[in-house]
Amino acid sequence: MKLATQNLTKYFGEFKALNEVSIEVKSCITLIIGPNGSGKSTLINTVTGFLRADGGKVFFEDKEITNLPPHEIFKNGIVRTFQTSQPLLKLTVLENLLIAEANYGESIIQSFKRSWLMKEEMLVKRAFSILEFLGIEHMWNERAMNLSGGQLRLVEIGRALMCQTKLIIMDEPIAGVAPDLSHAILKKIKELSGMGISFLIVEHRLDIVLEYIDWVYVMAEGRIIAEGRGKEILENPQVVEVYLGAQG
Is the pLDDT assigned to residue 105 strictly greater than 70? no
pLDDT of 191: 95
Q: How far is CA 175 from the centre of its chain?
A: 13
Torsion of CA 26, 31, 34, 35, to 10 degrees: 140
Is the pLDDT assigned to residue 108 strictly greater than 80? no
* Mean pLDDT calculated for residue range 225-247: 81
Total residues belonging to the chain: 248
Q: Crossing angle, helix 179-194 and helix 149-162, to 10 degrees?
A: 10
In terms of DSSP bridges, do strands 167-171 and 15-25 run parallel, antiparallel, or are they unpaired?
A: unpaired
Give the chain's mean pLDDT. 89
pLDDT of 102: 62
All domains of the chain in start order, with CATH: 1-77+166-248 (3.40.50.300), 84-164 (no CATH)
pLDDT digits (tens, 9 = 90+) for 165-197: 999 999 999 988 999 999 999 999 999 999 999
Is the pLDDT assigned to residue 115 strictly greater than 70? no
Distance CA 46, CA 138 (A): 37
* CA angle, 220 then 225 then 229, to 5°: 115
CB 229 within 8 A of CB 215: yes
- For residue 81, give the nearest of 152, 178, 186, 6 by alpha carbon: 152
Nearest 5°: phi and psi at 45?
-65, -35
Distance CA 216, CA 193 (A): 15
- For residue 166, give the nearest of 64, 60, 44 by alpha carbon: 60
Residue 142 is classified by DSSP as: S
First to last CA, the chain: 38
For the chain, what percent of residues have pLDDT higher than 70? 91
pTM over 0.75? The answer is yes
